[in-house]
Amino acid sequence: MTTILFSYKNLLRHKTRSFLTLVGITASIAVLYSIISFNKGFEAGLSKELERTGLHFMIVPSGCPHEVASLVLHGAVIPKYLDDTVSEKIRNFKDISLISPILVTQLPNQIHNKIDLVYGMEMSHLKNIKPQWNIKGSIPDNDEGLILGSEVFDHMKVKIGDTYSYGDKKFTITGVLEKTGSQDDAFIYIPITALQKMLNKEGKVTALGVKVLYPEKLTEIIEKLSNEIPGIQIVTMNQVMNSISSLASSAKILSLSVAIIALIISAVGVMNSILMTVFERTQEIGMMRAIGAGRNDIFKIIITETILLTTTGGLAGLIISNIGSGLIEDFVRKFMPYVPAGKILLFDYKIALFSLIFSIFVGVVSGLYPAYRASKVSPIEAIKG
């Protein structure tokens, strides 16, 4: 009989105890795996999303770098505005291929008695700024149309072609943005000139998105712009990514710590459970020593028991977190202020392998002490006749 089979049969002698210990390991490996793959998916999703915006940098009124990040990604309301003169000045620079004004605000929606998040934009630039969007219906070609984010659309019980009004201003719903999985789903998109008129903010914008002709000249252009135009701040997509990453990194560290603590607790659980069986089996271990088991044989049997437990738990944890990844993702999206569009939790064999190796490692560590104690049992323990 092999040591593995023998250890496995030993674990079966205490089915409930082994099972409960297993549950702890399963849960903590599932959490660890999900957190690591989420973090990885988050980074990947973020850079993909930024790549797709099609803009090279944003110009905002000076003084609010962090808000820019949230503006770019899900439209924060910034109580400061740039005016047309800035965009006129920029237009005079060469090497600029596109300047797109953005005005983000909140509007009370009397009909549904709630506050709408509204994103004013140049509709003709839409394909350039948001190339990844799929729109059902059409993009408004005048100031009378608007587009609903999928979440808004689902909640409102309206259809394309319906009228949508703010006070006296009536719009026609020309299109619906198909679900992106990001915060874009929660917005209403209105032609910027119409929004400026409604707010009496003609010529005012929250930000200007800029696309250049030659990206390799980016630093040069940014330097020139910030030297010559006062009162503006230029934020590149790289900076946006970094500031989001740094916002997310504290959450990452926290979540990883929680996972590690959970794992430590369950490892202590494994150790405790096996140590208990070692104490209960003192005479049996003595007997095995008397019939020819060396200290190393006993050590191997016990540490195999903990490794079997944690590896089984690790495997189960991986299976569960992959099956449940949809649920986990929905759950996380509810709590994170920003999650990139698309599926974040994809099966990643490297992370899976890491988690599995880690669970074996946990088995070794939690088994060391019980195995050491067991190997110290003297053969004369058995014969207390």
Partner 1 sequence: MIKLEKVEKIYQRGSERVRALKGIDLEIERGEFLSIVGPSGSGKTTLLHILGCLDTPTSGIVRLDGIDIETMPEKELVKIRREKIGYIFQQFYLIPGLTVYENVSLPLTFSRKERNRSEIENLIEMVGLKDRINHKPNQLSGGEMQRTAIARALVNNPEFILADEPTGNLDSENAEMIFELLKSLHNKGISIILITHNPDLAQRTERIIKLKDGIIESDQMV
Q: Among residues 28 and 375, whose Cβ is nearest to partner 1?
A: 375
User: Is residue 293 involved in binding partner 1 (CB under 8 A)?
Assistant: yes
Candidate residues 107, 297, 338, 361; the one interacting with partner 1 per rule CB under 8 A: 297
User: Is residue 380 involved in binding partner 1 (CB under 8 A)?
Assistant: yes
* Chain position carrying tokens 């619906």: 176
Q: Which residue lies nearest Mg ion, judged by its C-beta? A: 385
User: Is residue 385 involved in binding Mg ion (CB under 5 A)?
Assistant: yes
Give residues 310-339 in contact with partner 1 (rule: CB under 8 A): none
User: Is residue 379 involved in binding partner 1 (CB under 8 A)?
Assistant: yes
Candidate residues 139, 290, 315, 368; the one interacting with partner 1 per rule CB under 8 A: 290
User: Is residue 144 involved in binding partner 1 (CB under 8 A)?
Assistant: no
Q: Among residues 79 and 385, whose Cβ is nearest to Mg ion?
A: 385
Candidate residues 135, 229, 287, 346; the one interacting with partner 1 per rule CB under 8 A: 287
Candidate residues 151, 200, 284, 323; the one interacting with partner 1 per rule CB under 8 A: 284
Candidate residues 230, 291, 334, 349; the one interacting with partner 1 per rule CB under 8 A: 291
User: Is residue 283 involved in binding partner 1 (CB under 8 A)?
Assistant: yes
Provide, rounded to whole angstroms, the least separation between the CB of residue 269 and partner 1.
22
User: Is residue 20 involved in binding partner 1 (CB under 8 A)?
Assistant: no
Provide, rounded to whole angstroms, the least separation between the CB of residue 288 and partner 1.
7
Residues at the site binding Mg ion, with contacts judged by CB under 5 A: 385
